[in-house]
Amino acid sequence: MSAKVPVAIVGANGYSGEELCSILAGHPDVQVMAVTSRQHAGKPVGEVLPRLSSVREFSNLVFIESSMDLLLKCGAEFYFLALPHGLAAEYAVPLWRAGKRIVDLSADFRLRNAEVYREFYGEEHPAVELLPEAIYGLPELHREEIRTAKLVGSAGCYPTSVLLVLVPLLRAGLIDFRDIAVASASGVSGAGRKAEAALLFGECNESLRAYGLPKHRHLSEIEQELSLAASRQVTITFVPHLAPMTRGIHTTIFTRLADGVAEEKILSALESAYADEPFVRVSKNLPDTKNVSGTNFCDISARFDARTGRLILLSTEDNLVKGAAGQAVQNFNLMAGLGETAGLL
Amino acid sequence: MSAKVPVAIVGANGYSGEELCSILAGHPDVQVMAVTSRQHAGKPVGEVLPRLSSVREFSNLVFIESSMDLLLKCGAEFYFLALPHGLAAEYAVPLWRAGKRIVDLSADFRLRNAEVYREFYGEEHPAVELLPEAIYGLPELHREEIRTAKLVGSAGCYPTSVLLVLVPLLRAGLIDFRDIAVASASGVSGAGRKAEAALLFGECNESLRAYGLPKHRHLSEIEQELSLAASRQVTITFVPHLAPMTRGIHTTIFTRLADGVAEEKILSALESAYADEPFVRVSKNLPDTKNVSGTNFCDISARFDARTGRLILLSTEDNLVKGAAGQAVQNFNLMAGLGETAGLL
Amino acid sequence: MSAKVPVAIVGANGYSGEELCSILAGHPDVQVMAVTSRQHAGKPVGEVLPRLSSVREFSNLVFIESSMDLLLKCGAEFYFLALPHGLAAEYAVPLWRAGKRIVDLSADFRLRNAEVYREFYGEEHPAVELLPEAIYGLPELHREEIRTAKLVGSAGCYPTSVLLVLVPLLRAGLIDFRDIAVASASGVSGAGRKAEAALLFGECNESLRAYGLPKHRHLSEIEQELSLAASRQVTITFVPHLAPMTRGIHTTIFTRLADGVAEEKILSALESAYADEPFVRVSKNLPDTKNVSGTNFCDISARFDARTGRLILLSTEDNLVKGAAGQAVQNFNLMAGLGETAGLL
Amino acid sequence: MSAKVPVAIVGANGYSGEELCSILAGHPDVQVMAVTSRQHAGKPVGEVLPRLSSVREFSNLVFIESSMDLLLKCGAEFYFLALPHGLAAEYAVPLWRAGKRIVDLSADFRLRNAEVYREFYGEEHPAVELLPEAIYGLPELHREEIRTAKLVGSAGCYPTSVLLVLVPLLRAGLIDFRDIAVASASGVSGAGRKAEAALLFGECNESLRAYGLPKHRHLSEIEQELSLAASRQVTITFVPHLAPMTRGIHTTIFTRLADGVAEEKILSALESAYADEPFVRVSKNLPDTKNVSGTNFCDISARFDARTGRLILLSTEDNLVKGAAGQAVQNFNLMAGLGETAGLL
């Protein structure tokens, strides 16, 4: 590798943004040109994010204002947007027009259909004209398109944990697409670094609770990709829970085998699908969030309940890595022609 | 209330046993005559369980051997068995023969059918002759039989969280008994105070994982009681998870409305069923384990997913209280003719 | 006890306020007449604090505005103030003038000297005229004055854990008052239910950190009471830490024996001092926060380091109970002529 | 970099051993030749330690028996011993005789004096003849000797957090060596992966407690190195605590300035001492364990308490990284002539 790829991180103060900085700090082929934060502009990155003080190039970085002018001048070719949905699009449009390549960690460019966005996010899509250009950023599903994409909407945390399990099975017609119910549990970092009383330690410790029922926003991208995989409309039930841990998503899926499918086919189909994938591990053993914490892996397993004929599918991932920042870097590696695992293994 | 009811606690060293001591220490109508522990016989209770040192009558109690001779002589009329399954029956038989009344916190007297016991517990039932005498100890389901029972098999933790939700709905024919799938998550105390590596802090913190698939032992009592409620065999899928908290069970149930039932009926049916129950709270708000921690409450709610036609039912309880020791005391209160909530509110 | 004592709770939405409601809900001799919350006025208590829904009298209570008019009319004789410092005094003054008796959980009436208040709290004391009337609300130190007090400034959480250990030893001249350094660690609930980013689960989990150095506000009341006990000015070093748990304070004190004192004297002096105290437990065993969590106990122990001649003193308490709401109720019990342990054991 | 350095890991099943595997898996200049575990010999590493499945070279590794024969034949030049003290020496002796270079993570080769070992560990030192050959493995203190050492006793977790703070100040004569008291708190992984009831999640969650008073084993190496730094015998008080987190040590030190030293000198002396050190970060901000978790950094700060004249020194580290496996790799890098930060940044 000769020259490093110059990148900028827009909005590095949230949990995903901080994780992104942390991963990029250890990435051998990247040069971070700028890191923005409206709240902390002018402060050294290491003061706001003490984990990153004295870490390689971040030692000398100072947060800059998120002004488009500064961003365009910083010399980056790739821009990571770690911003709330809606706001991300405001940055994506001028960056796109300037010919920059963009990895967006928000939900703004994950949906193909602006009406679905309006239905689930309750507002008009802020940049409809870019939707046809955006690629859904889950490399295991759309690797080739991501390589050449100028704009990637990096897949969400819950969706990744659901799609990596279900898509190969739906593509192969092995499960009943009409009967899918999902119970997921996420660590609290999934809710972001927002100063809300409901996210206080005293509210989340020794607490487990469902939320966002029955129509969590992530359902929209989950169903979009499931429907693509099944070549027909797939509608599912999805129940997210908040669990008393910082990181990790555990997903449990209830479904049924398609007619005539033997239960043994399921695990072997998953193993085949992911045999060459660097970040998906299929195992007979039940997955555990702690085994993927701090990594870009998604662990998958399956069990058949012969008593009821139900198939139980399970997965775990780190919501901030494979569910956010790690996935963004994996997408970026593909876009930049780097090794897909660079900085991630 | 004039005289106090004399009781003995057999096996007070586990989490359920300790919680039982703690509840009975605050019970106005109880006199604890003996507390046993094979491991700690001869030691003051307050030394082994420091929470209980200086707490009323426990100040002067010393653990005794679990010998039947000592137990029969201690003057107790009621015996709480907080022992592993199998062992509990060994104590229940002679106590029964001696005319004592028994609240068993183990699984030994929850099942009516010794063959189901063998199927789920992998061994012969140790006291088949007592099965016809035992009452399933979930007061909200079997209150009147509990009052006069000599032997109560206090309901298990997961079963309580599932049954309190489903039984009223099955009795009223409001849900489809053929389509029930359950995802529960329990705090680590549910696994007992066993010195196993898998239960270490370092293994359970920042960890969420399913276990015991697909045929957890508690399924046997769940299906027994669901089938009674539905007046037909009910078979369900049940996926338990271990969550990084000490106490609490959260249960999420996926099912469907019975034909022709309006979704509004569900919450109102639950509200009616529990209108006069002191320990079941039905609410529109989603339940949270922290709201029931340390209490004998079970909180219940319901949501309808109109997109898929699925009904989502949710409940929370403290696995050591309503799921174990509190429930045992509630059963005892009924058996002894005391106020049902004595020592529990 | 014939009639119940009518009380009001002003500011029940914080952690101490909620704990206070919870304790009073189980208090046999109390009638709660009013509960106030500016934020939640008009809402049922059980909706805002779901733990308390369906709990005895709280079932029917609705939060009222914190207006003095409503408070004076509600029929209460005793008022618990669970408000931020500064604000508490605004309520105390008119209640005092109306002849009501007050238990203040804030810091407003703990200090005898308004200048010390200004030094540590950075503002003028809001009700200097009441300072001579207020009694420092630590029953083990000032029981008799509390009985007849009209206004009690209930002792703070850290101060309780430090004072219960040191005061008997200073009174008896057993330790060197010139050499005292304290390292305390508190659960996150000690910081209150404030929507601050630093208190988020993601910031506090897997985190241990000192804060507030070198002059934490609680030092003011600690040194006031230590100086009273030693009959001379005592100045100490105090380092508070935030630990990743909801409840509990652990205090470790480094000091030295006074000249000529044998180390064996220490534990026996503590045992003598607390032989008849219902809520202080002295033991050879090292204390653990989990043994006092949810209780009004303070556990104390001591060890002598012969290698350096240092004495190590240790204590634990639940910051929300003996460190706040439980202590307030203990003070109230004394003021109202009730049994000191009523509602607390 | 041409050839990779062949290494073996003896005892990879504990927390330090697993962390060591994890770090070495990402080390660019290392080839892992063998990993041993008596308990798991014959099993794939990825099955026992699921975090490591599919991670580079560990994918194909199988645990071997810890037989010296196999170890000597595996082709390694460097041996990491992640074994209990006492057992480590049994492996070190034959490896030494065979001319291998050794990084021992146990306490067996940290002390220069076999009598101190006997005093603190309660048994005879198992390999007295090797003591003169061993170097204390704290690179910031003994870098040059480590480079050429054949046997390094990698420094312990608590000692690292104490020594990195105090040694530069003692060397410079800035603090009073006669007045040092330390309160440290460690995450539970520090106690190892031992199936003991006291380390269960249910015992450690919501728990904070001191232990091992007053003479923790780590005192021996702390005082050895402090005495070296001060050129006189230094004896301190050390109080370790167990905190409810998986990783991290927080250390708070109470001491005093040496006569005539201005408080401003302290932080600047620490900054100078560590200006060129890659893994020690000195800051005005108070350290937090979460900022070093998963890293090889030690964060240090200082505050002066003008009211009492005491100096408060604080540090944080990850007990499994800078306190164990990371430090071992840092030592190894020096011994092998690699970049000191290889695999660690």
User: One digit per residue, pLDDT tens: chain A, 345 residues?
Assistant: 458 999 999 999 899 999 999 999 999 999 999 999 999 999 999 999 999 988 877 878 999 998 999 999 999 999 999 999 999 999 999 999 999 999 999 999 999 999 999 999 999 999 999 999 999 999 999 999 999 999 999 999 999 999 999 999 999 999 999 999 999 999 999 999 999 999 999 999 999 999 999 899 999 999 999 999 999 999 999 999 999 999 999 999 999 999 999 999 999 999 999 999 999 999 999 999 999 999 999 999 999 999 999 999 999 999 999 999 999 999 999 999 999 999 998
Across the interface, whether the CB atoms of C290 and D250 are under 8 A apart is answered no
> In this structure, are C105 and C30 located in the same domain?
yes
Instruction: Note whether A288 contacts D: Cβ–Cβ < 8 A.
Output: yes
Q: Does the bond joining C214 to the residue before it have cis omega, within 30 degrees of 0?
A: yes
Task: Report if residue B343 sits inside a domain.
Answer: no
Task: Report if residue B237 sits inside a domain.
Answer: yes
Cβ pair C280, C293 in contact under 8 A? no
With beta carbons under 8 A apart, name residues in chain D contacting A53: 281, 283
In which domain, by residue range, is B183 found?
158-318
With beta carbons under 8 A apart, name residues in chain D contacting A56: 345
CA B52 remoteness from chain centre: 22
CA atoms of B315 and B327, how far apart (whole Å) = 16
CATH of the domain at C110: 3.40.50.720
With beta carbons under 8 A apart, name residues in chain C contacting D308: 181, 235-237
> In this structure, are C291 and C232 located in the same domain?
yes
Task: Report if residue C296 sits inside a domain.
Answer: yes
Q: Does the bond joining B214 to the residue before it have cis omega, within 30 degrees of 0?
A: yes
pLDDT for C103? 98
What's the half-sphere exposure (Cβ side, CA atoms, 13 Å) at C2? Answer: 0
Interface of A with C in 291-310 (CB under 8 A): none
With beta carbons under 8 A apart, name residues in chain D contacting A295: 51
> In this structure, are C164 and C275 located in the same domain?
yes
Using pLDDT thresholds of 50, 70 and 90, give the confidence band for residue D2.
Answer: low
Instruction: Note whether D59 contacts A: Cβ–Cβ < 8 A.
Output: no
> In this structure, are A144 and A262 located in the same domain?
no
> In this structure, are C71 and C149 located in the same domain?
yes
Using pLDDT thresholds of 50, 70 and 90, give the confidence band for residue B2.
Answer: low
Look at residues C190, C157, C167, C135 and name the one whose alpha carbon lies nearest to residue C331.
Answer: C135
With beta carbons under 8 A apart, name residues in chain D contacting A288: 50
Closest by Cβ to B243, choosing from A181, A236, A243: A243
Average pLDDT over residues D322-345: 97
CA atoms of C240 and A46, how far apart (whole Å) = 25
Is there a catalytic annotation at residue C21?
no
> In this structure, are A272 and A166 located in the same domain?
yes
Task: Report if residue A343 sits inside a domain.
Answer: no
> In this structure, are D255 and D290 located in the same domain?
yes
> In this structure, are A172 and A304 located in the same domain?
yes
Residue C1 has pLDDT above 50, yes or no: no
> In this structure, are C102 and C202 located in the same domain?
no
Residue C278 has pLDDT above 60, yes or no: yes
Closest by Cβ to D289, choosing from C207, C245, C314: C207
SS3 content of chain A, % helix, strand, coil (to 5): 40, 20, 40
Closest by Cβ to C204, choosing from A194, A195, A201: A201
> What spatial distance separates the first Cα and last Cα of chain B, rounded to whole Å?
17
> In this structure, are A171 and A140 located in the same domain?
no
> In this structure, are A208 and A196 located in the same domain?
yes
Across the interface, whether the CB atoms of A306 and B214 are under 8 A apart is answered yes
Helix axis angle for D139-148 and D326-335, nearest 10°, is 40
Residue D4 has pLDDT above 90, yes or no: yes
Instruction: Note whether A200 contacts C: Cβ–Cβ < 8 A.
Output: yes
Cβ pair C136, C221 in contact under 8 A? yes
Residue of A nearest to D342 (CA): A26
Helix axis angle for C218-230 and C114-121, nearest 10°, is 140
Across the interface, whether the CB atoms of C208 and D214 are under 8 A apart is answered no
pLDDT for A1? 44
Q: Are strands B101-104 and B151-154 parallel, antiparallel or unpaired?
A: parallel
Cβ pair A209, B250 in contact under 8 A? yes
* Dihedral angle, C-alpha B70, B72, B73, B79, nearest 10 °: 90
Looking at the structure of chain A, the number of domains it has is: 2
CA atoms of B41 and B61, how far apart (whole Å) = 11
Type of residue found at A13 = N
Give residues with Cβ within 8 angstroms of D43, minimum separation 6.
D37, D62, D63
Write phi, then psi, for D80 (nearest 5 degrees).
-95, 125
pLDDT for C58? 82
Instruction: Tell me the nearest-neighbour CA distance from A176 into chain B, angstroms.
Output: 14
What DSSP designation does D99 have?
Answer: T
Task: Report if residue D254 sits inside a domain.
Answer: yes
CA atoms of D286 and C239, how far apart (whole Å) = 12
Give residues with Cβ within 8 angstroms of A3, minimum separation 6.
none
> In this structure, are C226 and C314 located in the same domain?
yes
Q: Which helix (H) or strand (E) holds A251?
A: strand A249-256
Task: Report if residue B340 sits inside a domain.
Answer: no
pLDDT in tens, B118-142: 999 999 999 999 999 999 999 999 9
Give residues with Cβ within 8 angstroms of D344, minimum separation 6.
D23, D279, D296, D326, D329, D330, D333
Q: Does the bond joining B44 to the residue before it have cis omega, within 30 degrees of 0?
A: no
Look at residues D237, D248, D238 and name the one whose alpha carbon lies nearest to residue D186.
Answer: D248
Instruction: Tell me the nearest-neighbour CA distance from B55 into chain D, angstroms.
Output: 20
Using pLDDT thresholds of 50, 70 and 90, give the confidence band for residue B3.
Answer: confident
pLDDT for D58? 82
- Percent of chain A residues topping a pLDDT of 70: 99
pLDDT in tens, B36-86: 999 999 999 999 999 998 887 787 899 999 899 999 999 999 999 999 999
Task: Report if residue A341 sits inside a domain.
Answer: no
Task: Report if residue A145 sits inside a domain.
Answer: yes
Residue C60 has pLDDT above 90, yes or no: no
Query: From edge to edge, which strands make up the β-sheet containing B78-81?
Result: B30-36, B5-10, B78-81, B101-104, B151-154, B134-137
Instruction: Tell me the nearest-neighbour CA distance from C172 into chain D, angstroms.
Output: 23
CATH of the domain at C256: 3.30.360.10
pTM score, whole prediction: 0.97
Residue D19 has pLDDT above 50, yes or no: yes
Q: Which helix (H) or strand (E) holds A151?
A: strand A151-154
